[in-house]
A = this chain, B = another copy of it.
Amino acid sequence: MSAQNRIPVGIIGASGYGGIQLVRLLLEHPLVDITYMGGSGSVGQNFADLYPHISHAVNLPIENIEPEEVADRAQVVFLSLPNGLASKIAPRLLAKGCKVLDLSADYRFTDLQVYESWYKETRTDGEVNSKAVYGLPEIYRDRIATANLVGCAGCYPTASLLALQPLLKQGLVDPSTIIIDAKSGTSGGGRQPKTNLLLAEADGSLGAYGIANHRHTPEIEQVCSDLAGQEVLVQFTPHLIPMIRGILSTVYAKLRDPGLVKDDILTIYKSFYRNSEWVQVLPKNIFPQTKWALGTNLCYLGVEVDPRTGRVIVVSAIDNLMKGQAAQAVQCMNIMMGWEESLALPKLTFYP
């Protein structure tokens, strides 16, 4: 495709970590051109002032956010904003015919009351929301293909749901026993400076947070319930790890059939994800390191069964900013546009 046939895309919220990943990925995408970058705090600065290392590859200013003007300049728009802002902007972009991919939580919930209750915000865009599709291709690929608005899956939900999907879809576990003990690098907290994210605070240490009340809980539960065909509550505990990128989810559940052994479950997982290029089920007795996924769109899964306790334990590793955020959004865009799903998605990290 020649350059003039590339699709113009815009990024609103380009200056954060989600934004810089999108820029990085879209610069190497063969079918798009970045034509607009929007922000708030850094309007007027050049993107390369914020990220000098990228100055040889991009020369665009951070502009004000005027949705109609953005829509004039971009066919596809990525929103990478704090929760609560996308739902002010997306309807105006959609009205002008854009396809919209939102990286915040605004369009992840089918039931807006759940959103309002966990996010303490009032929403008035119910009709727009009702057309949004949850952006996790390995679960909702078909719906994404025809969507104009995708609420891209959260980082923890992506890692957790890919680990749980085969178990729930096939009814292998008792959903009331699901425990998700998740661990994330600090980039998930964003680039706005906060004391607890300082290297001096977060390095050399580890702690849990959001115990029993983290906002990704209802998001995980919504999809688990959909997969299981029954209402599911999960126990979800995130932890902050002294590293920049990566999420590891350690997922526990009781097997309904205590006769199932590790080889059975592994076979089920390998079969389930046989055609999923971005989910790698590891061989027996191999469990993932988060760094295996860094800079890629991959999710690695390791599976174990404990015959003593009758539990299955699945360990899932992703890059929180890639499969957990920006690369997954690009994957969704490829699907929405009818392109090859893997376009511009990295598949090999630089180890170590």
Give the B-binding residues of A (Cβ under 8 A). 17, 20-21, 24, 27-28, 51-57, 177, 179, 181, 183, 185-187, 189, 191-195, 197-209, 211-212, 233-235, 237, 239, 241-246, 248, 250, 252, 280, 282-283, 286-295, 300, 302, 304-306, 308-309, 311, 313, 315, 317, 321-322, 347-352
Q: Which residues of B contact A191 (CB under 8 A)?
A: 195, 198, 200-201
Copies of this chain, count: 4
CB-contact partner of A198 in B186, B205, B302, under 8 A: B186
In the bound assembly, the distance between CA atoms of A287 and B205 in angstroms comes to 13
Q: How far is the CB of A347 from chain B (nearest CB, A)?
A: 7
Nearest-neighbor residue (CB-CB) of A201 within chain B: B352
The answer to whether A348 and B24 have CB atoms under 8 Å apart is yes
Asked whether A183 lies within 8 Å of B200 as measured between CB atoms, the reply is no
Contact of A195 among B193, B287, B304 (CB under 8 A): B193
Q: Are the C-beta atoms of B197 and A185 separated by less than 8 Å? A: no
Residues of B within 8 A of A287 (CB): 207-209, 211
Q: Select which of B205, B212, B290, B309 is within 8 A of A235 by beta carbon.
A: B309
The answer, among B187, B199, B317, for a CB contact under 8 Å with A202, is B199
- Give A207 to B52 CA distance when docked, in angstroms: 13
State the CA gap A201–B244 with chains docked (Å). Answer: 8
**Please, which residue of chain B has its CB at the minimum distance from the CB of A278?**
B56
For residue A317, which residues in chain B have a CB less than 8 angstroms away from its CB? 206-207
